[in-house]
Chain A
């Protein structure tokens, strides 16, 4: 149904638009203006030329008839009294006084040329090219000559009794006039085109300048620069667009500010939660270590003393059993305290704590883990970074052990001048990143990302089903933190 029209789905239109749509607005406007001017100019030129040629052809024919009839009337007596000299003069005068007359001659009733304007000789074939009956008014034909088209008019003289007068009117002058007018029209078209180009350029400037401003401002907004404002050039649609854009930018700026504030609040909250969690863990660990462990140690010592002092075998046996339970509990409390907050992290730093954690993991799980740490021997990282990295590795390894079914895992941590980078890889079954979102039960990955981003860092995950998983973590180091001892 739509195929008959140039709808946007029409192949012609698509082809046209593929070309026309790809050029700039400047070219489009120039194309429209130039196209209109040229089409109009050329159409008018062709039409005027056609009408002018027709009109002038008709005028030429009429002129030929009137000149020939005048010549015939004036030649009558001269032919009758055989005044050939005067007849010749008459022909020459006729030619001299009528600009378009190419030739004139008089043919006797016997078909002989009595007088002509050619000088020595007479063009072959001209005499027989046209004739007229004695009762006709005139007879005109167009002759093709080596000098272009010639209107040849034959008029009987004295009803044919004195012969025939022939006049040839050249179209050369007419063609020159038509060509001259055509040239002037084309020149006018070119001049109007030039004016059109100027006007179109001006129009384009008027139209595209605010648009280009809008483009620049939009790009700035894209870069999260909400200070960009577009000047309102004119009180038109584009002006309204500029206003709308400006108010949108202002709204975006406000929203961005609010979002940043919320983000900051959230970050503060999260870091507060994390810090509190760490503090709490540290306190519980210390409590376990200082109080519970001491109590258990005292209990152990008491039970040993009781066992040594008691004579009764069954009581001594029971005391030894209780002492073993107490020793296991002490061991568990140690492990728990270590997991909650390894004191090594605070006391000996990240490398030692990680080595200890890796060793613990390998003891509990059949996983081979490579650990490599570079650039952290001389200087310790800021405590927040150390804690974050420790927790990230801890979380990552937990994930590997729980889900990956991997044989080996490797941890590589390297300190750079402005950042510390960690790469944690495994050869497990991996997963499809597209199907995993942060809320989709992968709280572990979410926690890693959260910890990295709280410190201004970022997490990059590479994983494919069957090809293992790689986590890239980068945390920037400010110059102040960098020098932290």
Chain B
């Protein structure tokens, strides 16, 4: 009888275990969010066009941002946007101090508001890159002509290697992408375009050779899933740009920091993280061939 009572009491108590006490939060009592005071030091804002995924960009460019922050003794903030056009707008409006843009985005920005070149990365001793046409490893396609009636992945509407150049190839075959492909879609960065082909979502895509090489180096398994069937002639590499109205002193400082990166241990590490050897000075004329091809292709829908 007593044992039973004990068991009963124990069961009862275990059923109503006391909750720990803590201050009560009123979920229905809404207050305006107080904007926290920003730091007194204005950060250096750096934008990177979405050549690769935002996460990949944030990871890849973090050492470079750290390098700049250390050298400038100033916080550096990475600003990313979905499209190249949005990144160009940031540069045009002076919202960012420094930007890594795509080749065709530079050509467009230079024409529109005088986007200024600051430096260009150098890979394997030269500052050029290519547009490479990739298909799934299982595909039998050997050229753009074999992709007729297939699904094609563009990267960004403004991307030179990812849209302008493949459009050029299709035009050379006497067609337009709308007629040539059964369907096209945008991945908004080159990483995803490579993955879309690797996973068979697209039958082909044209991507930045630097991005492909970097992606294959990071993920060797990817090399077995995609297959390069065409490589373009060399084009001016995507540059580092500033707004034309940037203070000359800042511009000079930034340029100097970029050009001297390879001589700094921290800078060297940052360059390695991006797959670059160094930054070198560049000239607008390096992008003339691109201008010609863009002109030849004609205006594209945004």
Contact = CB atoms under 8 A, between A and B. Distances in A.
Contacts of B80: 80-82
A150 B27 CA distance: 10
A289 B79 CA distance: 162
Q: Please report whether the interface of chain B is mostly helix, strand, loop or mixed according to DSSP.
A: loop
A123 B31 CA distance: 6
Interface in B1-52: 1, 8, 11-12, 14-15, 19-33, 35-36, 50
Contacts of B62: 161
B30 A46 contact: no
A412 interface: no
Contacts of A162: 58
B230 interface: no
Interface string B204-241: 00000000000000000000000000000000000000
A146 interface: yes
Contacts of A113: 33
Given A122-B33, A158-B55, 6 more contacts: A80-B80, A81-B81, A122-B31, A146-B24, A146-B27, A158-B58
Given A77-B53, A81-B50, A122-B30, A145 B25 contact: yes
Interface of B: 1, 8, 11-12, 14-15, 19-33, 35-36, 50, 53-55, 57-58, 62, 78-82
Contacts of B12: 46
B36 A50 contact: no
Interface residues of A, number: 41
Given A47-B15, A112-B36, A144-B19, A123 B29 contact: yes
Interface in A387-402: none
28 contacts: A6-B1, A39-B8, A46-B11, A50-B14, A80-B58, A80-B78, A82-B79, A82-B80, A103-B27, A111-B36, A112-B33, A112-B35, A121-B31, A121-B33, A122-B31, A122-B32, A123-B28, A124-B26, A125-B25, A142-B19, A144-B22, A144-B25, A145-B24, A145-B25, A145-B26, A146-B27, A150-B27, A161-B58
A129 B26 CA distance: 12
A277 to B, nearest CB: 74
A81 B82 contact: yes
A70 B52 CA distance: 22
A120 interface: yes
A122 B12 CA distance: 39
B179 to A, nearest CB: 32
Contacts of A111: 36
A122 B11 CA distance: 41
A184 interface: no
Contacts of A119: 30
A123 B82 contact: no
A118 interface: yes
A119 B33 CA distance: 11
Contacts of A59: none
Nearest to A43: B11
Contacts of B20: 142
Contacts of A189: none
A140 interface: no
A102 B24 CA distance: 15
Interface in A64-85: 76-77, 80-83
B59 to A, nearest CB: 8
